[in-house]
Amino acid sequence: MEDAHHHHWTMVERRGTQLWASGRPFIIHGFNTYWLMSFAADQATRLRVTAAIAEAGLNVCCTWAFSDGGYRALQTAPFHYDEDVFRALDFVVSEARRHNMRLILSLCNSWEDYGGKAQYVRWGKEAGLDLTSEDDFFSDPTIKSYYKAFVEAVVTRINTVTNETYKDDPTILAWELINEPHCPSDPSGDTLQAWMEEMASYVKSIDPVHLLEIGIEGFYGPSIPELLPVNPDEYSGHAGTDFIRNHQAPGIDLASIHVYSDIWLPHSIKENHLQFVDKWMQQHIDDAANLLGMPIVVGEFGVSVKDGKFGNEFREDFMKTIYRIFLSSWKEGVIGGGCLLWQLFPEGAEHMDDGYAVIFAKSPSTLSLLANHLRCLEC
């Protein structure tokens, strides 16, 4: 573990395909718990935040630094932010720091949870803009100004607990532009590409120091047609994203992908799922190393056990497959970065389980799998 004395805590930086911190390689062994800020905003659930961070025993957590409109919103309206909720985010960052954990902070959602692009478009319509689709989020100048203002508010925030500006805080490993953006109205990918380039350069203009990732699933797009067959289905190639081209946008530091074969593949033949995972991981690692020259971050991967298709045994096989492939590439010196499980919960948060949650107290075998991966990374 890194030295707990804060003055030794250096930013995580990128050196080619590797991550470094405090003079040595830094590997992400992490998890997602998206609701930390909203739980911290309520005294009754704040202890769950500390538990989530303290009990994980992992080194990075990805969480949502946005909540647009709706209950306990951070952004109550364009250019308006709730100070109490901002203080909840301050608490999350300070707790992570206290437990020597780094954070990847996501700045927006392409889905409707916690507001996201749909909420931005609603705000635009309320302001009288002529918007026809949620995809206008990526092209309308006024909506883009809302997003930029929000990003600036978060990145330049001075933490009320630690008194440190977010953009100077090594607790933050990376910013994520948007969770799983799709823009099917423009399958060429040009609309989303333009948005990513503009926003990456905007984030870097305010915070040139922190690493930046996009948040896409990793679907291949029209820029390299021969890679389209690697996608899980036909739609993926027309979603408006493009793994290679998107990651060539100046300012993007990490090649981030997700792995959800349980959603993407129509069948439940376990061997075929694991074969898909193997190929998906291998192809993206190769491309990150050879075409992009950057670390790979498997930002989300998991298996839902709630619909009866799969159980815990398959979830663990799935996790082992992902860890094994990353580990062998890392040991060969091909790639750095790491993987973040979706998702890991303390007790008392079961009601937030979307089917993917590994709950500490109830999952001893999965926890030992996580601990084993940590040992493999250190040996």
Would you state the structure tokens that stand for residue 279, as one six-digit string?
Answer: 């190929």
Q: Reply yes or no on whether 180 is catalytic.
A: yes
Q: Whole-angstrom Cα distance, residue 34 to residue 70?
A: 16
Packing angle, helices 141-155 and 116-126, rounded to 10: 120
Residue with tokens 């830094």: 26
Q: Active site residue: 95, 213, 217, 300, which one?
A: 300
Residues belonging to the chain: 379
- CA distances to 15, 137, 219, 221, 285 from 238, in Å: 33, 18, 9, 7, 22
Q: Whole-angstrom Cα distance, residue 220 to residue 246?
A: 10
CB-CB contact of 184 with 117 (8 Å) = no
Angle (CA) 216-338-35 rounded to 5° is 60
Q: Return the amino acid letter for 62.
A: C
User: How does strand 172-176 pair with strand 296-301?
Assistant: unpaired
DSSP string across 126-137: HTT----SGGGG
Q: Whole-angstrom Cα distance, residue 335 to residue 327?
A: 9
**Which conformational region is residue 58 in: left (phi greater than 0), alpha (psi within -120 to 50 degrees), or beta?**
beta
Q: Whole-angstrom Cα distance, residue 53 to residue 99?
A: 7
- CA distances to 271, 324, 358, 364 from 312, in Å: 15, 18, 9, 11
Q: Active site residue: 180, 197, 198, 378, which one?
A: 180
* Catalytic machinery residues: 180, 300
